[in-house]
């Protein structure tokens, strides 16, 4: 009888998938052990299509937990957090620390973040209350106690508190530059063009007021057709709907007869790489939440409305 550990490798497709995973993991381990931040590596490889999101949890565990044995701490957030500038500026200064955050975003799943990298914060837009966040931290000085102190300092920053300055968080050569800066004028040198990582943008939340007497099944179908038309026109974008602060996975699950009434407000936002036509989307959603919803129900089977 074939053991369960090896059974999945009996299929060619699965074996090749696992082999590619091992090859890329070996590359990632090598880069990590040479000092690169794991979140930087993983987001770069995701953007290039070299790995998929489903590989991320296994890679995090293998490298940060099993191999590096880094101190870590997990919490469910007690509040929404938006003040990312203080985190990025602080960890750019605390360059003796290498930190990786694994954040379970309610909309698009696990996101890995290097808090010194502002682009990573741009991808999440906000940290939401009750969502899981795990911090892994290594000290470039190889001191686990420094790493544990730095985790505590991170959570203080997350509570908008300023921790005491700790020189263990800054490399000695950087402290020397700060204490005795040297100004040297040199002719400008040509610089290589930076590689701009591909990121997903996210809009603010827009409100749509219900003007129909009730937001009933007809309004639901109208919204489905409008959102379907938008996402068909802009396939790299996704429309996210909220009601009373709750993320709505299925419109039918919330917008039942009598659930949302005249004057109620529904929120939406768009995530994607090249977001367009949001004002038009908002206009159509307003119409779909009104007594004029029927104009969005007239479409051919297996076709989408030509709205955008």
Secondary structure (DSSP) of 163-192: PPP-GGGS-HHHHHHHHS-----------P
Which pTM value belongs to this model?
0.57
Q: State which H helix or E strand residue 229 sits in.
A: helix 217-233
For residue 246, the SS3 value is strand
**What is the CATH architecture assignment of 201-296?**
2-Layer Sandwich (3.30)
The DSSP annotation for 253-308 comes to HH--TTTSBTT-EEEEEEEESS---HHHHHHHHHHHTSTTGGGGS---TT------
**How confident is the model over 181-198, as pLDDT tens digits?**
444 444 444 434 333 334
Higher pLDDT, 3 or 234: 234
Which residue in the block uniquely carries the two structure tokens 């996101």? 111
pLDDT for the residue numbered 3:
56
pLDDT in the model for residue 10: 60
CATH 3.30.1340 intervals, the chain: 201-296
CA–CA gap between residue 112 and residue 43 (Å, rounded): 7
């Amino acid at each position: 009888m074939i053991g369960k550990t090896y059974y999945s490798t009996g299929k060619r497709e699965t074996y090749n998938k696992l082999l590619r995973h091992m090859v890329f993991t070996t590359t990632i381990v090598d880069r990590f052990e040479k000092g690169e931040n794991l979140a930087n590596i993983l987001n770069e490889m995701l953007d290039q299509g070299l790995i998929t999101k489903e590989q991320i949890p296994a890679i995090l565990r293998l490298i940060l937990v099993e191999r590096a044995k880094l101190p870590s701490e997990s919490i469910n957030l007690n509040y929404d957090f938006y003040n990312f500038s203080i985190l990025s500026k602080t960890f750019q200064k605390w360059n003796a620390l290498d930190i990786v955050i694994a954040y379970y975003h309610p909309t698009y799943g696990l996101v890995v973040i290097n808090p010194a990298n502002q682009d990573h914060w741009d991808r999440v837009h906000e940290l939401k209350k009750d969502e899981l966040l795990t911090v892994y931290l290594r000290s470039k000085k190889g001191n686990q106690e420094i790493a544990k102190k730095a985790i505590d300092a991170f959570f203080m920053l997350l509570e908008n508190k300023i921790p005491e300055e700790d020189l263990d968080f800054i490399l000695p050569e950087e402290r020397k530059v700060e204490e005795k800066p040297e100004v040297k004028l040199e002719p400008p040198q040509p610089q290589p063009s930076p590689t701009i990582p591909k990121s997903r943008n996210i809009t603010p939340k827009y409100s749509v007021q219900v003007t129909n007497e009730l937001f009933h099944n007809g309004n639901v179908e109208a919204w489905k057709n409008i959102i379907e038309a938008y996402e068909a026109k802009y396939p790299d974008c996704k429309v996210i709907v909220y009601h009373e602060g709750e993320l709505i996975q299925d419109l039918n699950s919330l917008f039942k007869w009598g659930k949302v009434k005249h004057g109620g407000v529904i929120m939406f936002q768009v995530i994607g790489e090249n977001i367009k036509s949001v004002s038009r989307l908002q206009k159509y959603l307003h119409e779909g939440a009104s007594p004029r919803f029927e104009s969005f129900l007239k479409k051919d089977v297996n076709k989408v409305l030509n709205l955008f």
